[in-house]
Structure formats: C-alpha cells, structure tokens
Amino acid sequence: MSIRNLAEFGTRHVARGIGRLATEVIESGSGSYVTMASGRKFLDFTCGIGVANLGHCHPAVTKAAQTQAGKMVHAQVNIAFQRPYLELIEQLIPLMPDKSLDTFFFWNSGSEAVEAAVKLARHATKKQNVIVMQGSYHGRTFGTMAMTKSKTIYGENYGPLMPGVFAVPFPDCAHCSIAAHAGGKFSYEKCCMDPVTELELLLKRETAPSDTAAIFIEPVLGEGGYVPVPEGYLQRVREICDKNNILLVADEVQSGFGRTGKMFAIEHWGVRPDILVMAKGIANGFPLSGIVSRKELMDTQKPGSMGGTYAGNAVSCAAGIAVAKAFQEESILENVNARGKEMMDALKELKQKHGDMVHDVRGLGLMQAIEFKAGKGYGSKVQAKCMEKDMLILTTSIYDTLRFIPPLNISQEDMAKGLGIIKEAVEEVAQGAKPEETGTKGLAPE
C-alpha cells in the first residue's frame, strides 16, 4: 500500500476516538529519532508519551526480548512462577523508594495498575472511597475514567462512572489564586499549603476518614501539566494518611523510572508511599505495568483474586530486566540531570525573553513544560513549527502547555539540537509568523 493509501486506510478503519498528533505513518525508531514511512526523520521529544525512555529499540532491551521470545512468550502467572517475572522483581527491589515496598503484582497497562491499587486499597482497609487530585490523569478504563480529572473529554458521555471518587485541588502554584495575590510571598519553594486545608476539609465534609481507603497522587502531575508538588506538601499528606489510616498511593506511571532525575519522583521529597504504581518506562515499550506495596497489605488478598491472562508477560519482564540493568550500566540518571539542567536553563531564558508570552516554566529532570499565557493558542503554534522542523513534541493539560519528554539517554548534541528547534519555533511564533497546516489537530494525550 502506498503511504498516502496507508494513511487514508487508517483514517477509515482506525477508531476515531484515538486522537493523533500527525498524519504521518511511523515506520521505525532508533534512539532519539523516529522515521516515518514518508522518509522524514523526527527528533522525538515525546518518547511515545514517556514510554521508550531509553530511546527507541534500545539494543540491550531488544536483545533481551528477542532471547526471551525464543524461550517462552506466555508463561501465565496463574499457572506457575516464571523466571523473568521473579528476576525483574529482584532487579526492582533495590530501586524502590522505600524498603517497605517489597511485594509486587504486574499487569499490562498503567490504567490496570491504578485499578489494582484501588482493589488493594479497598481490600486492605475495608473502606471504599478514594481521593484524587484535580488535574490528575489515571487512565481511561471504567475505574480510572472516574479518577481522571485532567479534562472532561475522558469521562464525557461515558457515565455513570465508578462511584466513591472525591477530588481535591492539586497544589499547582502557577495557578494558585493565593500565590497570585500574595506579591511573591508564596512559590513552589514556599507553598501556602491551602491545598492541605482543602484536603482536610474534604475529609470533614464529603468523605469521612472511616470511609476513605486511599489518596492517589502523581508526585509530578503528568497530563495535568507537568507540575511537581511543592516542597512540604507530600509530607503533610503523609501525616494526614497516617493519622486517619488512609493509604498513600503514588501514581508514578509517567514520572517513574528516571524521568525526573531520580528513579521515582517521590524520592525528591523523601516520602514513603504505601502503594507505588508503575508502567510506561518500566519495559521501554513492551506492555508492562505493576504495583508494589508491603507484604502485609498485599497478603490480605486471596489467591486467585488477582491475575490476568497477559499480566506480567515473560517477554515484557525480560525487557524490564534489561531496562533496570541499563540504568546502572549506562549512568542514565546522571544524563537526565545534566540534560535536564540544559533544558531548564533554555526554558528559563525563553521565559525571560518572552515574558509577554510565557506564563510559567517548570519540571524536574527530563519531565519539563512551558506554559503560555492563555487565549492565543501559542502552544499549538509552537508545536506545529517544531513539526515543520522535524521534531515531535506534545501539548498537555487544559492550559496552553507544551511538555517535553526526550529520551533519558539523549546525547548532549541532540538535546542542543532540540532546544535550538524549540527556541526558533517560539521566536517565529513570537514574531507572528503564521504556522502552516501540519495536521496537528486532535492531539493524542497520554
């Protein structure tokens, strides 16, 4: 089929509900680049939305998967233990943000893993309700649709959704009305902690502690705009959880596996989660997700009540082992922090130069964003310009925000190239250059 016919075929036969960034057809990927069927090669600052974090087709990950595919593809967790599953746990235990996190359950997608966390929290506490953050993204399945509060599109016309979900404001200092009116008194480094008060009020007004099983939080809000929690906030939430026998669940589907410069984002604040949710970067593109918690909680579940046909697939687990080894052998976190600083410096420079256009720049490691002032559609224009210059980037959140998700092992040269393209694109949009049509409508989030 010709390229044109392929794209037309896709438009006709692929579910319309799947939005997409480009009308191109992806053919292959290698490291920080993706090649389209048209022959165009794009520098990829999306990593397939934070999944191929070690670059596309990382050689050691590909080799591990190929070897495992020749040995055993589907071992089925409900039949017997399988070697790669156990060896992956062995690799992951030392990487966990707290020693108490020692018992694992693997599933396929992030949404399923979030639901596994809801099941565990309800079962272990014998309580039903969960609290989530406004702006959070936890997935698109029936349970997680109810927990996703980043945009109405994810739940619109799909109700009734799972009951028992309550939402509180996420501590988003760039949109905090108290900070806005306090003349610089409050900031990310010194939060007004109003969201903590809101949480306490919620537990008094809407969902009693005796009915509340868990609080779910993304330590760095993903789809909601790449917003790290401010200093001190998670500690306060931990105290509320401890006082009320509520479990703290860190959804690190997007922020985990090195994305923020630590193995898990929650390490930036030194807070212990009761349950940690993982996916995306765990196997660099092979479908795998999981939860980890302490044994005493996990052991409340009856044998047979957890599992799933493809859960913890052997090839995905083998890929996951190779990912964990690569982190050690290839000094991935060092690179994230070095490249992350280069990126933050460049974004700050853009903010300084284009203060009339840029509302905020923020992020940790290589999970960074630039938010433009509302109303002019700057983000989509810059995104379209980047596409013209053969670079993939994504928008996110209800605000006019671009998020940057480059490979964690991106070279200094490719980072400089990417930042150069972003700067050029912002300059051109600032000068009012009209972006050409590039088919960048209907952006595909998450």
Ligand X SMILES: Cc1ncc(COP(=O)(O)O)c(C=O)c1O
Q: How far is the CB of 274 from ligand X (least distance, A)?
A: 17
Q: Which is nearer to ligand X, 213 or 253 (CB)?
A: 253
Cβ–Cβ < 8 Å for 132, 138: yes
Residue 275's SS3 state is strand
Q: What share of the chain is helix, strand, coil (3-state, %, to 5)?
A: 40, 15, 45
Q: Which is nearer to ligand X, 114 or 120 (CB)?
A: 114
Q: Which is nearer to ligand X, 222 or 273 (CB)?
A: 222
Q: Which is nearer to ligand X, 223 or 360 (CB)?
A: 223
Tokens of 43: 């520098």
Positions that interact with ligand X (CB under 6 A):
109-111, 114, 137-139, 218, 222-223, 251, 253-254, 279, 446
All residues at 6 or more sequence positions from 16 whose CB lies less than 8 Å from its CB, including other chains: none
Q: How far apart (Å, rounded) are the C-alpha atoms in residues 212 and 198?
A: 15
Q: Among 176, 168, 199, 174, which residue's Cα sits nearest to residue 363?
A: 174
Q: Which is nearer to ligand X, 358 or 364 (CB)?
A: 364
> Can you tell me which residue has the tokens 């649709």?
145
Q: Which is nearer to ligand X, 222 or 379 (CB)?
A: 222
Instruction: For strands 41-44 and 103-107, give the pairing.
Output: unpaired
Q: How far is the CB of 121 from ligand X (least distance, A)?
A: 15
Q: Which is nearer to ligand X, 48 or 377 (CB)?
A: 48
Instruction: For strands 165-168 and 129-133, give the pairing.
Output: parallel
Query: By beta-carbon distance, which residue lies closest to ligand X?
Result: 110
Q: How far is the CB of 111 from ligand X (least distance, A)?
A: 3
User: H helices within 254-313, ranges in order?
Assistant: 295-298
Q: How far is the CB of 283 from ligand X (least distance, A)?
A: 12
Q: How far apart (Å, rounded) are the C-alpha atoms in residues 298 and 103?
A: 7
Q: Which is nearer to ligand X, 50 or 261 (CB)?
A: 50
Instruction: Identify the H or E element spanning 387.
Output: helix 378-388
134, with CB counted inside 10 A (0-12, 13-18, 19+), is middle
Give the distance from CA 385 to its chain's centroid. Answer: 25
Q: How far is the CB of 154 from ligand X (least distance, A)?
A: 11
Strand order in the sheet with 358-364: 358-364, 367-372, 401-404, 394-396
Residue 158's SS3 state is coil
Q: How far is the CB of 208 from ligand X (least distance, A)?
A: 27
Q: Which is nearer to ligand X, 9 or 158 (CB)?
A: 158
Q: How far is the CB of 329 from ligand X (least distance, A)?
A: 27
Q: Which is nearer to ligand X, 323 or 429 (CB)?
A: 323
Q: How far is the CB of 221 from ligand X (least distance, A)?
A: 8
Q: How far is the CB of 168 from ligand X (least distance, A)?
A: 17
Q: How far is the CB of 136 from ligand X (least distance, A)?
A: 7
Q: Among 43, 51, 50, which residue's Cα sits nearest to residue 411?
A: 43
Instruction: Identify the H or E element spanning 5.
Output: helix 3-13
Tell me whether the omega of the peptide bond preceding residue 160 falls within 30 degrees of 0, making it cis: yes
